[in-house]
Amino acid sequence: MHSDQKKNRGCLGLVSFVYGLFDGFRRFVFNVVFYVLLFLFIGVLAGGDGVMVPEQAALVVAPSGFLVEELTGDPLERAVDELLDQAVPETRMEDLLDAIAAAKDDSRIQALYLDFDGLAGGGLDKLERFARAVEDFKESGKPIVAGGDWLSKHGYYLAVHADEVYLHDEGTVWLDGYGLFRQYHRDLIDRLEIDWNIFRPEVNVFKSAVEPYLRNDMSEDAKTASLAVLDDLWDGYLEKVAPLRNQTPEQFRQAIAELPRHMEEQGGDMAQVPLALGWVDHVGPRDLVRDRMIELVGRDEENHTFQQISMGDYLDALADDRFRNPQSGDGVGVVYAVGTILDGTQSPGTIGGDSTARLVRQARYDDEVKAIVLRVDSGGGSVFGSEVIRRELELARADGKPIVVSMGSVAASGGYWISTPSDRILASPHTITGSIGIFGMWPTFEDPIAEHLGTHTDGVGTTWLSGDLRIDRELDPQLGELIHSNIDHGYRQFLSVVAAARGMEVESVDEVARGRIWSGQDALDLGLVDQLGDLEEAVGVAAELAGLGAGHSVKRIERQLDDWDQLLVDMMEASVLRVAALSGDTDWRGRAQRLDQRLLRAVEERVEFLQQFNDPRGVYAHCLCSVE
């Protein structure tokens, strides 16, 4: 008995020791957190009031990279990449529109300066939304100046909406139109003796995605379909641009056709050509436009330039007041489907069957979301992933929530598939849509592996299917027939889905399908979409269908950093900025001060949260997550 008591005391001692160890570790962790928070508080107190919007300044809008509906990548990874200046250059449309809309009514913003040197491109529908925001700003009576060292067709489309267009004297305006070019690999495939198995319905003569593996050039059918859409885009481009330069589209076409002659007349000076053609207002070095902006908004003596604030800083200064629409209360939820459609969970910039369906489901069960707008900017991808999303939208619609689809630059093939379970489809006249068709590919490499590597594959299996889906074995003709049969079934299913959604006969859908792409205007004429309009108009239609009045909210349904991830990123950024600010650089110091203000709010929330933890043993069952 005495021995048992000693064992029990030993066990209790061990438990006590383990508990003490864990309790000490717990206290250590919480002490570290406390001192980190204390350090942040001290940093906030030392940081001052942060940089404010100047009382008189120009808002500088300088889009970087491509215009996109949503930024690419996992939110946490992207936040870290941005901190390290390693993020893919992209500019979110919502940021542009919010900044310009807010600046219109902001008495501190006296002018708008558009800088397009960093703009890599964007779909014509995005350029049009951007341009409408600039035109709306123009109603304020404030001057708008645009400039660039080199104006591509994307930047020029936007620049012509300014009151004055400046071009660097070593630059030019490059209007190269729209084209569709790709590489074709038939000879390479034959040379390498690859058996590239292609499966597509015989009627899908316009489904050109597989042509690079079947041919050495573009088929006449593909050329016909592609050129029809490209002509629509170019016509739409010139019809918008030309009148703003007091010219006709035909004058622009003729000038481009005779560009060599114009170059010769200007002695080969590429900057003087657009000036002589009336495409720009001023040609000169950068200080020319800088001096003009100083005339308009005043001089920044410290930085030897004009009084200004960048779009990013301006949005940070606006903070929660930046949005054009309220974010809470009954309203419309917007789900973005941007990029290639893949199965499973994917990061933003790619559409995941599971992850995008999850966002739809989130909107479906959100009591404040009375209607859903699906913003589609995708050329398609996985049929399975597309169907998972389509079904989730169908369920939301069955629950009584109107579904409105807003098509962006592209909503084709799988992008059209996920658009079908909707009450209304809106497209831009320049949307590329349709491409109703499917295909499959399965390459095998048994011949080059055998000939060049001397490696052969052989074996046995219990059925004729055993080991058949291997790239080092020839595809069994019977399996090829199975796959082909499934592809045919998939195409018929696609036709049926479209026919049921659009109230059309399957045969009628087939006539406009067969893998052919259409412009948004043609799609309207063919009954594939209901009306022309942009995202803002789609939100309005959804609100009307849901019976919402004026002042309804618009909520962006997306994956965001949770509170703890955001605090982690902010702490990392604070450390980097504080070290950089020691150099005396005012830009870095300003960023650090603005971050301090954001951290102050975040730290206060975290301290209140941590103070709730009072279990006497320091043991918790909490997910450290929140659902709002």
* Residue of 452 and 276 predicted with greater confidence: 276
- Whether 81 shows a pLDDT value over 70: the answer reads no
Q: How far apart are CA 38 and CA 33, in angstroms?
A: 8
Nearest alpha-carbon partner for 436 in 502, 480, 353, 359 = 502
Please state the pTM of the whole predicted model: 0.79
- pLDDT classification of 149: cutoffs 50, 70, 90: very high
Assess whether pLDDT exceeds 90 at residue 583: no
Cα–Cα distance, 413 to 494 (Å, whole number): 9
Q: State residue 48's pLDDT score.
A: 42
Q: Write down all domains in the chain, each with its CATH number in brackets.
A: 1-47+561-628 (no CATH), 57-179+227-321 (3.90.226.10), 331-557 (3.90.226.10)
The predicted model gives 194-215 an average pLDDT of 82
Helix or strand run (H / E) with residue 595: helix 586-610
What is the C-alpha radius of gyration for the chain, rounded to an integer number of angstroms? 30
Report DSSP state, residue 319.
G
What confidence score (pLDDT) does residue 549 get?
85
410: amino acid identity, one letter: V
Helix axes 563-581, 2-47, angle to 10 degrees: 50
Over residues 598-626, the pLDDT tens digits come to: 445 444 544 444 444 444 333 333 333 33
pLDDT tens-digit map of 492-527: 999 999 999 999 999 999 999 988 999 999 999 999
- In this model, does residue 272 exceed pLDDT 50? yes
Please state whether 510 falls in left (phi above 0), alpha (psi between -120 and 50) or beta: alpha
pLDDT (0 to 100) of residue 28: 55
Instruction: Look at residue 289 and give its three-state secondary structure.
Output: helix
Residue 628 has pLDDT above 70, yes or no: no
Query: What mean pLDDT do residues 280-291 have?
Result: 97
How confident is the model over 19-65, as pLDDT tens digits?
Answer: 555 555 555 555 555 445 444 444 444 444 445 889 999 999 999 99
Average pLDDT over residues 424-430: 96
pLDDT at 52: 80
29 vs 317: CA distance, rounded Å: 34
Q: At what angle do helices 220-244 and 124-138 cross, to 10 degrees?
A: 10
Q: Give the phi and the psi of residue 370 in degrees, each rounded to 5.
A: -100, -15
- Using the CB atoms, write b or e for 137-172: b if 16+ within 10 Å: bbebebbbbbbbbbbbbbbbbbbbbbebbbbbbebb
Neighbour tally for 417: CB within 10 Å:
29
Q: Is 413 an active-site residue?
A: yes
With beta carbons less than 8 A apart as the criterion, state whether 55 and 309 touch.
Answer: no
Determine the pLDDT at residue 41.
Answer: 45
Give residue 570's pLDDT: 55
Q: What's the pLDDT tens digit per position in 151-192?
A: 999 999 999 999 999 999 999 999 999 998 889 999 999 998
Looking at residue 618, its pLDDT comes to 36
Write out pLDDT tens, residues 94-138.
999 999 999 999 999 999 999 999 999 999 999 999 999 999 999
Q: Which of 208, 226, 382, 413 is catalytic?
A: 413
The whole-chain average pLDDT of the chain stands at: 84
pLDDT reported for residue 605: 47
The strand pairing partners of 161, in sequence order, are: none
In angstroms, the CA 422 to CA 411 distance is 14
CA 293/CA 335 separation, integer angstroms: 39
What are the pLDDT digits (tens) for 383-407?
A: 999 999 999 999 999 999 999 999 9
- Answer for the pair 325, 316: CB distance below 8 angstroms, yes or no: no
The one catalytic residue among 104, 153, 207, 401: 207
For residue 64, what are its two tokens?
Answer: 């970087």
